[in-house]
C-alpha cells in the first residue's frame, strides 16, 4: 500500500513538472506516466494533478513561505512534489499521515532520496502552520481567483459583471454530460438503463440528446457504451450538430474535427449526410477513427491543412461546413486546468490570425446558399464576436443567421451557463 501510494504521488509530481516546467499538456504526458498504476492510484494521481493546477498560485505562495531559498534547477522536481503534498494536506480528505508518508517516499522514486528530510520537514510545517498559512492566503486577494494575471484582467475587461463567476466556474470540477446516439436508443429508454445501473442523473436537459450525470463515472459503467449507444460530450459542444442542421444527402465538411465528437453527432442526427472530417494532427485523427468505429458510423477522414484547400479539396462544393476553429480553449479550463498555465497572452493574436486564414480559405469551398457554422471553446471576443464581425465586413456574400436564444446573430456561452462549458457559435450563410 505504501509503495502504491508513493507511486501515485510520484506520477502526479512528474506530470506537473512536465506541464509547469516543460510546457507540455497534461493529457499529453499523463497516460504514459500512469499506465502501470492500478486504476485507483491512477485516479488519485489525476485528482491531485487537476487539483494542483486549479489552485496553483495559492500552493506556490505556500511553498515560497516555507522554503528558505529557491530550489536549484536539478531539484525543481521537488517543487512539483511539494505541490502534490501540500494540496493533499489542505484540499483533500487524505489523512495527514498517509499524505506525508507517501509523498516523502515518492522522493525516492523521483531519484531525490537525499531530499526526503526536506520534503518531510516542509509538509510537517504545513500541518503545524495550517491555520496561519490559510489566513495569509486570505490576506492576498489576488490569489483567490487562481488565474494568471493576464487572463484574469482579460476576463474582467470583457465580463466585468460576471468575471468572478467565470473564474469560480473555471476552478470547479465539471459535470459529466452524455450524448445519446439516437440511431440506437432514445433518451427515455437510456434513462431507464442508467437507473437500473444505479447511475444517478440530474434534471433533464432541453436538448433531446443530452443527459447530465449527478457524479462522473467510468465510461465502462455506462450501459452499452462499447456498443455505441452513448458518448461523453459537454452540453455546449452538443449544440454544434443541432445548429449545423445537416440534411440527408448533403456534402458536409467538419474542419478541425479531432477527436471526432461533433463528427459523430452530425452522423447520428443525419446518417445520410456525406461527411468529410479533416484535421492537421494525424495522431489526434486516430481518435476520430476510434470514435466512428465504436459508434459504427462512416465518414471520410483525412489529415489536411485547413488553410490550404488546394492540397486536399476535390472541388466539390460543400452544403454545410462546421469549423470548430483552433482557439485559446479558455472556455474549457474547468476540464483542462493546465490551459491556465500553458496559454500566454501573446498566443491570442496568433490564434486570431489563424482563425481568419481558415475562415477565408473554407469560404471558397462553400456552395452559394450554403451555411458555415463557426465554433470555438473560447470566451475571448477577439476569437469570437470580433472575428465574425471582421469577416462579415470583408465578405459581402456572407450574412449572419440568427441562432441565439433571443434572436442574437451569435451565441456566447460562458463557463457554467446551463452547466455547460464556455463555447461560441456563429452561423453564416453564403448569399446566392
Q: Residue 417 gets which letter from DSSP?
A: G
pTM: 0.95
pLDDT of 270 over the 60 cut? yes
Chain Cα centroid distance, residue 171: 12
Say if CB 12 and CB 48 are below 8 A apart.
yes
| 57 band by pLDDT with thresholds 50, 70 and 90 | very high
List % helix, strand, coil for the chain (3-state, nearest 5): 50, 15, 35
Mean confidence (pLDDT) of the chain: 95
Strand duo 177-180 + 230-232: pairing: antiparallel
Least confident window among 14-18, 44-48, 317-321, 400-404: 400-404
pLDDT of 2 over the 60 cut? no
3-state secondary structure 378-404: CCCHHHCHHHHHHHHHHCCCEEEECCC
pLDDT of residue 1: 40
Expressed in angstroms, the distance from the first to the final Cα of the chain is: 69
Catalytic annotation on 377?
yes
% of the chain surpassing 90 pLDDT: 94
Catalytic option among 49, 255, 327, 377: 377
The CA–CA distances, whole Å, from 77 to 101, 132, 133, 180 equal: 18, 26, 23, 43
Residue 128: which H helix or E strand, with range?
A: helix 116-128
Residue 283's contacts (CB-CB under 8 Å, 6 or more residues apart) are none
Is residue 34 helix, strand or coil?
A: helix
% of the chain surpassing 70 pLDDT: 99
| 70 band by pLDDT with thresholds 50, 70 and 90 | confident
Over range 334-361, report the average pLDDT. 98
Cis peptide before 131 (omega within 30 of 0): no
| 409 band by pLDDT with thresholds 50, 70 and 90 | confident
Q: Residue 419 gets which letter from DSSP?
A: G
| 51 band by pLDDT with thresholds 50, 70 and 90 | very high
pLDDT of residue 404: 67
Over residues 182-229, the pLDDT tens digits come to 999 999 999 999 999 999 999 778 899 999 999 999 999 999 999 999
pLDDT of 3 over the 70 cut? no
pLDDT of residue 4: 59
pLDDT of residue 141: 86
pLDDT of 405 over the 90 cut? no
Over residues 276-323, the pLDDT tens digits come to 999 999 999 999 999 999 999 999 999 999 999 999 999 999 999 999
Give the domains, in start order, of the chain with CATH numbers.
Answer: 2-143 (1.10.940.10), 179-232 (3.30.70.1170), 235-430 (3.40.50.150)
| 235 band by pLDDT with thresholds 50, 70 and 90 | very high
| Residues 226, 178, 239, 357, Cα dihedral to 10° | -60
Amino acid at each position: 500500500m505504501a509503495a502504491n501510494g508513493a507511486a501515485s504521488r510520484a506520477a502526479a509530481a512528474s506530470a506537473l513538472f512536465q506541464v509547469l516546467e516543460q510546457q507540455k499538456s497534461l493529457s499529453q504526458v499523463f497516460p504514459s506516466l500512469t499506465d502501470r498504476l492500478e486504476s485507483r492510484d491512477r485516479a488519485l494521481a489525476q485528482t491531485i494533478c487537476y487539483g494542483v493546477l486549479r489552485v496553483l498560485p495559492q500552493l506556490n505562495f505556500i511553498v515560497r513561505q516555507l522554503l528558505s531559498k529557491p530550489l536549484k534547477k536539478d531539484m525543481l522536481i521537488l517543487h512539483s512534489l511539494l505541490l502534490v503534498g501540500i494540496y493533499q494536506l489542505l484540499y483533500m480528505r487524505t489523512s495527514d499521515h498517509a499524505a506525508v508518508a507517501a509523498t516523502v517516499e515518492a522522493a525516492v522514486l523521483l531519484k531525490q532520496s537525499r531530499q526526503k528530510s526536506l520534503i518531510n520537514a516542509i509538509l510537517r510545517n504545513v500541518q503545524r502552520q495550517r491555520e496561519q498559512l490559510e489566513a495569509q492566503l486570505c490576506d492576498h486577494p489576488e490569489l483567490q481567483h487562481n488565474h494568471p494575471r493576464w487572463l484574469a484582467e482579460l476576463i474582467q475587461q470583457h465580463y466585468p459583471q460576471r468575471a468572478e463567476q467565470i473564474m469560480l466556474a473555471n476552478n470547479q470540477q465539471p459535470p459529466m454530460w452524455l450524448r445519446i446516439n439516437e440511431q440506437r436508443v432514445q433518451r427515455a429508454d437510456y434513462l431507464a438503463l442508467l437507473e437500473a445501473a444505479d447511475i444517478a442523473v440530474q434534471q433533464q436537459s432541453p436538448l433531446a440528446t443530452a443527459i447530465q450525470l449527478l457524479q462522473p463515472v467510468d465510461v465502462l459503467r455506462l450501459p452499452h457504451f462499447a456498443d455505441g449507444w452513448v458518448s461523453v460530450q459537454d452540453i455546449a459542444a452538443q449544440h454544434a450538430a443541432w445548429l449545423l442542421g445537416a440534411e440527408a444527402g448533403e456534402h458536409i465538411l467538419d474542419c478541425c474535427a479531432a477527436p471526432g465528437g461533433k463528427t459523430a453527432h452530425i452522423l447520428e442526427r443525419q446518417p445520410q449526410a456525406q461527411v468529410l472530417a479533416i484535421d492537421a494532427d494525424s495522431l489526434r485523427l486516430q481518435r476520430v477513427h476510434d470514435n466512428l468505429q465504436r459508434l459504427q458510423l462512416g465518414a471520410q477522414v483525412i489529415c489536411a491543412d485547413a488553410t490550404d484547400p488546394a492540397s486536399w479539396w476535390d472541388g466539390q462544393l460543400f452544403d454545410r461546413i462546421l469549423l470548430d476553429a483552433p482557439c485559446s480553449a479558455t472556455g474549457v479550463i474547468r476540464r483542462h486546468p493546465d490551459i491556465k498555465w500553458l496559454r500566454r497572452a501573446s498566443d491570442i493574436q496568433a490564434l486570431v490570425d489563424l482563425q481568419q486564414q481558415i475562415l477565408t480559405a473554407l469560404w471558397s469551398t462553400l456552395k452559394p446558399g450554403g451555411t458555415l457554422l463557426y465554433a470555438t471553446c473560447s470566451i475571448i471576443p477577439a476569437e469570437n464576436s470580433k472575428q465574425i464581425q471582421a469577416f462579415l465586413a470583408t465578405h459581402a456574400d456572407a450574412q449572419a443567421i440568427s441562432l441565439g436564444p433571443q434572436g442574437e446573430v451569435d451565441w456566447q456561452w460562458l463557463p457554467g451557463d446551463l452547466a455547460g462549458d464556455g463555447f461560441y457559435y456563429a452561423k453564416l450563410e453564403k448569399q446566392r
